[in-house]
Amino acid sequence: MRRDIQALRGFSILVVLLYHAQFGWFKGGFLGVDIFFVISGFVITSKLMEGDGTIGTQIKGFYLRRAKRILPASLTVTVITSLFAIFFLPAISRSRFSIEALSSALFSANLNFARVGNDYLAQAADPSPFLHYWSLGVEEQFYFIWPILFLIFFKKNKNWLIPTLLLSSVLGIWYTSVNPVYSFYLPFSRFWEFFAGILLAMNPQFRLAQPLQKITAALGWILITFSVHLFSVTNATPGITTALAVFGAMLVLIARVDVKPQFVLPMLGDYSFSLYLVHWPIVVYFLDRSSTLSLQNKVAIVFVALLLSVSLTHLVERPFRFKKRFTLTLPQWGAVVLIGSVLSYGGLAASATTNTKIDRSVPITYTDGCHLNFGKTWPLGVCAYGDVTSSTEIILAGDSHAAQWFPALLKIAQDRKWKLVNLTKSSCPATTLETKRNAKFDASCAIWQVKLITKINADKPKFVIFSDFTEYQYALLKNSNSYETAWTTGLNIFLSQIKIPFIFFGDTPKPSSVVGDFALTRSPTTMATQKSVAAHGGLYIDPSPWLCSVRCSATFDGANTYRDSSHISVHTAEALSAKLAAVIPAK
């Protein structure tokens, strides 16, 4: 195996590990998976190029090799993680975990996480210990069809590689702008990353002149390092920024510059698959106890992950891959998958002692384009709901903590035959507050705030409902000795421009754990907001008594109270609609 490829693997797993362990050095560490896809496309297709025999024989041989490479370690970790979840993770989540374990064993975890709207780049305080299996799902779904396509068509039609790469990249990046969660998980959005490696594998005759090799390799390493350091979850993925990491990986593969064996990256590459499998459940164990990891926890995660990956590699992965006594037929491998699936699902399902429903869905405004994402300044459509022909209009406006109330307000609007207009934007509060994103002025937020005021005053709705994430401190463009003072000043400026009657929903309490009860606390910003609203003649509604007494419960009306680390679930919002209706004026 080329040591430059192993070094690339080692780099990829290292940045993924450090990103998940919350080390701040690599904000875009999740791009390590995209680099893996490029490597995978290159290595797998290089081996397919060496094959001979009939098409049927080659396809069968490919699937057998793939089974020996992937199944032993992946199924072992799936089963052990299921047992681990029974003993160390909250019982309230076991029913959900059982489905996730089953989908992971069947290499369809990505489809399941897309189905439930699990945003990988904005994880909850109750993350799935099987979340990392999404990438294996993407990879195996691609390789279910690729050897067939390769042998039947592409092997003899290399000229179609570049058009396929370009078309699949355009479609994948475009779909991210349409539905970022689905695009993250669905395999067709990632095909271009595999094809980037495939293009190089199918053109082995291409060689760089020796003087250019080191320059090209250095440029490739700079690009991928730059990508994982500079980019973050605020950048669309897979997107234009992903292409930089993909291109950097291509340059390293083209250059073929050997890496000295004493370097740590090739060594990490030797254990990269096992390390990827074991590290995330360890992270989840620590996150279940605290959403913010201490330095000691971070170091412990890395140490334990390295220890377990070495054990898994030498005890399971390599013996099954290389020793002849573990040679199985495809039906036998199918039986192994079936057994692993039953064991992974059965234990968790049987131990799910609670009837609590787990709701991880998001309001429909997240999927129809009416809840704006980062960089967007205004929705493309009208974003009207309820009775859209009604002369009585109400507007919901604010950041995602306003959007969390949409399901409740939609029910009220439908019952009262009101027209509900949704104007919400992620990480952009309805105030006049200059915020930062990635250490730069968030211009899209500032533009949206101005447009919001204009829209509200022009529409002249019956009233407008605001809500913001006041249990959190936004990164401000201008330094302030007191965030509370800066927030209050901005809110007063904003509310003074609103010429319409308004209601302000106070922020929901911020949980320390989605799956456990927590103490009720209120931030100074939340308290200051209540005073500002009263001073400007607005109606302030505090939802905290509905959710908490002295402590706040992890369950509400038979389901999880929160869908993630700060937003109430759709079920909770709908269950609170009657309480909201009682305090929102009907006339």
For residue 272, the Cα-to-chain-centroid distance in whole angstroms is: 21
| Three-state DSSP class for residue 465 | strand
At which residue do the structure tokens 């007191």 appear?
Answer: 482
Answer yes or no: do 129 and 94 share one domain.
yes
Burial of 44 (0-12, 13-18, 19+ CB in 10 A): buried
Q: Is residue 57 domain-resident?
A: yes
Question: Which residues fall within 8 angstroms of residue 61, CB to CB, at 6 or more apart?
Answer: 51, 53
- Tell me: do 347 and 427 sit in the same domain: no
Domain membership flag for residue 416 = yes
**Distance (Å, whole) CA 175 – CA 13:** 26
Residue 65: other Cβ atoms inside 10 A: 13
What pLDDT does 80 receive? 96
Assigned domain for 356 exists: no
The tens-digit pLDDT sequence of the chain (587 residues) is: 789 999 999 999 999 999 999 998 888 999 999 999 999 999 999 999 988 888 999 999 999 999 999 999 999 999 999 999 998 887 777 888 999 999 999 999 999 998 877 767 666 556 889 999 999 999 999 999 999 999 999 989 989 999 999 999 999 999 988 888 888 999 999 999 999 999 999 998 888 878 899 899 999 999 999 999 988 877 888 988 899 999 999 999 999 988 876 678 889 999 999 999 999 999 998 887 776 788 999 999 999 999 999 999 999 999 998 888 888 899 999 999 999 999 999 989 888 766 677 787 899 999 899 999 888 999 988 899 999 999 999 999 999 999 999 999 999 999 999 999 999 999 999 999 888 876 678 899 999 999 999 999 999 999 999 999 999 989 888 777 789 999 999 999 999 999 999 999 999 998 876 566 788 889 999 999 999 999 999 999 999 999 998 788 888 888 889 888 789 999 999 999 999 999 999 87
Domain final residue pick, 309, 329, 351:
351
Region of residue 32 (phi > 0: left; psi between -120 and 50: alpha; otherwise: beta) = alpha
Residue 56 located in a structural domain: yes
Q: What are phi and psi of 290, to 5 degrees?
A: -165, 130
Domain encompassing residue 571? 364-583
Structural domain contains residue 107? yes
- Please say whether the dihedral angle defined by the alpha carbons of residues 482, 484, 488 and 494, taken in this order, is positive or negative: positive
* The predicted structure's pLDDT at residue 384: 96
- Is residue 192, in this structure, part of any structural domain at all? yes
The answer to the question of residue 357 being in a domain is no
Looking at the fold, whether 347 and 368 belong to one and the same domain comes out as: no
Do 291 and 565 meet the contact criterion of CB atoms below 8 Å apart? yes
Measured between alpha carbons, how far is 213 from 257 in angstroms, rounded to an integer?
6
* Shared domain check, 172 and 131: yes
Residues 373, 341 share a domain: no
Pick the last residue of a domain from 289, 318, 351: 351
Specify if 304 maps to a domain: yes
> Alpha-carbon distance 405 to 162, whole Å?
46
Tell whether the torsion through CA atoms of 101, 21, 310 and 138 is positive or negative. Answer: positive
Overall number of domains in the chain: 2
pTM of the model: 0.72
